[in-house]
């Protein structure tokens, strides 16, 4: 287990870290005895009382935020703007037809020799981002690193890092704040309270969130439903393929919905295996 974890961490750091050395310390311990019993059963059993929620399709704003985030984190963008770190955040706000995007990017200090250079790099990156969002139509405002104050003249007054990650300053947040399985945090939607990272495949906060997204997406793709919201809930110790409730809300026809839900729960073990392989 320690070997697998170490290799996974090294692989991830190789992708996101571009300027520092890390010491990996493993703190792996056994879980509680009663929760270990969950994995000895013949059928997948919930190891917590929890729920999973998701929706499909994405709204225009959601698609824009997700697409922009992937664009900034792409190899092509990094190659074009080498001072851009992998730690980014994109927040979107729509008021009527107006859209405001607030972007945070951790810049790498080894590519920026002084404040003038920082301002130049930031200006080019912002121009590239604006070009990317222009296709959406309507009025789109973009803000980048709004805490910056170059007039102060010190590196502490701008978003400058060694690694390209805010974690070097201890500002790493907690996994509960992380993106949901659909890769977004959507406070104006009904959504799961938990992130999928850091949980095993028998945790409803993970597997039910994944299944809710897959079910919602399949319903939209294979039926005449236009928009779908799925909520799944269970109790600790209950078989995962028999949720206490599977609530599906559909905009449009609900014909074929039940079949999609039942098929996904029938394939629950297959979904768990795919998650492990990811």
pLDDT category of residue 42 using cuts at 50, 70 and 90: confident
Instruction: Provide, rounded to the nearest whole percent, the portion of the chain with pLDDT above 70.
Output: 95
The whole-number pLDDT of residue 14 equals 82
pLDDT score of 79: 95
- Over residues 55-110, the pLDDT tens digits come to 999 999 999 999 999 999 999 999 999 999 988 999 999 998 899 999 999 999 99
Residue range 33-60: average pLDDT? Answer: 91
Residues near 158 by beta carbon (within 8 Å), at least 6 away in sequence: 107, 115, 118, 145, 148, 149, 150
The β-bridge relationship of strands 245-252 and 225-234 is: antiparallel
- 60-173 has the same fold as 41-58+182-277: yes
Segment 166-197, tens digit of pLDDT: 877 666 656 656 678 999 999 999 988 888 88
Nearest Cα residue to 184 out of 272, 89, 115, 271: 89
Domain boundaries, the chain: 41-58+182-277, 60-173
3-state DSSP assignment of residue 123: helix
Burial 99-121 (b: 16+ CB within 10 A, else e): bebebbbbbbbebbeebeebeeb
Supply φ then ψ for residue 98, to 5 degrees.
-90, 140
pLDDT in the model for residue 136: 61
> pTM for this structure?
0.88
Q: Which two tokens stand for residue 56?
A: 């499909």
pLDDT at 173: 59
Helix 204-222 to helix 257-266 angle, to the nearest 10 degrees?
140
Decide: helix, strand or coil at residue 246. strand
Highest mean pLDDT pick, 27-36, 149-158, 193-202, 215-224: 215-224
For 101, 105, 159, 251, 264, the CA distances from 130, given in Å and listed in that order, are 10, 15, 20, 33, 40
Task: Please check the confidence at residue 261 and state whether its pLDDT lies above 90.
Answer: yes
Q: Which CATH architecture has domain 60-173?
A: 2-Layer Sandwich (3.30)
**What average pLDDT does the chain have?**
90
Q: What dihedral angle (degrees, nearest 10) is formed by the CA atoms of 254, 256, 257, 260?
A: -170
Residue 170's pLDDT is: 67
What's the CATH class of domain 41-58+182-277? alpha beta
Q: Is 206's pLDDT higher than 60? A: yes
């Amino acid at each position: 287990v320690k070997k697998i974890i170490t290799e996974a961490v090294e692989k991830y750091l190789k992708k996101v870290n571009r300027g520092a050395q890390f010491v990996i310390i493993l703190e792996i311990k056994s879980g509680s005895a009663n929760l270990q019993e969950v994995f000895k059963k013949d059928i997948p059993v919930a190891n917590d009382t929890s729920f999973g929620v998701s929706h499909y399709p994405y709204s225009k704003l959601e698609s824009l935020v997700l697409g922009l985030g992937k664009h900034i984190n792409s190899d092509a963008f990094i190659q074009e703007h080498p001072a851009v770190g992998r730690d980014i955040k994109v927040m979107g706000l729509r008021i009527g037809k107006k859209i405001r995007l607030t972007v945070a990017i951790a810049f790498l200090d080894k590519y920026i020799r002084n404040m003038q250079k920082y301002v130049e790099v930031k200006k080019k990156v912002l121009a590239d981002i604006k070009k990317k969002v222009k296709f959406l139509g309507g009025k789109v405002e973009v803000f980048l690193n709004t805490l910056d104050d170059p007039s102060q003249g010190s590196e502490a007054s701008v978003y400058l890092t060694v690694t390209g990650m805010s974690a070097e300053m201890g500002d790493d947040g907690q996994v509960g704040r992380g993106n949901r399985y659909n890769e977004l945090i959507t406070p104006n939607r009904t959504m799961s309270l938990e992130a999928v990272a850091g949980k095993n495949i028998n945790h409803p906060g993970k597997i039910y969130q994944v299944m809710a997204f897959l079910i919602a997406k399949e319903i939209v793709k294979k039926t005449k439903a236009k928009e779908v919201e799925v909520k799944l809930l269970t109790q600790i110790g209950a078989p995962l393929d028999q949720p206490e409730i599977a609530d599906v809300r559909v905009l449009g026809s609900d014909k074929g919905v039940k079949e999609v839900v039942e098929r996904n729960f029938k394939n629950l073990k297959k979904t768990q295996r795919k998650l492990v392989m990811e």
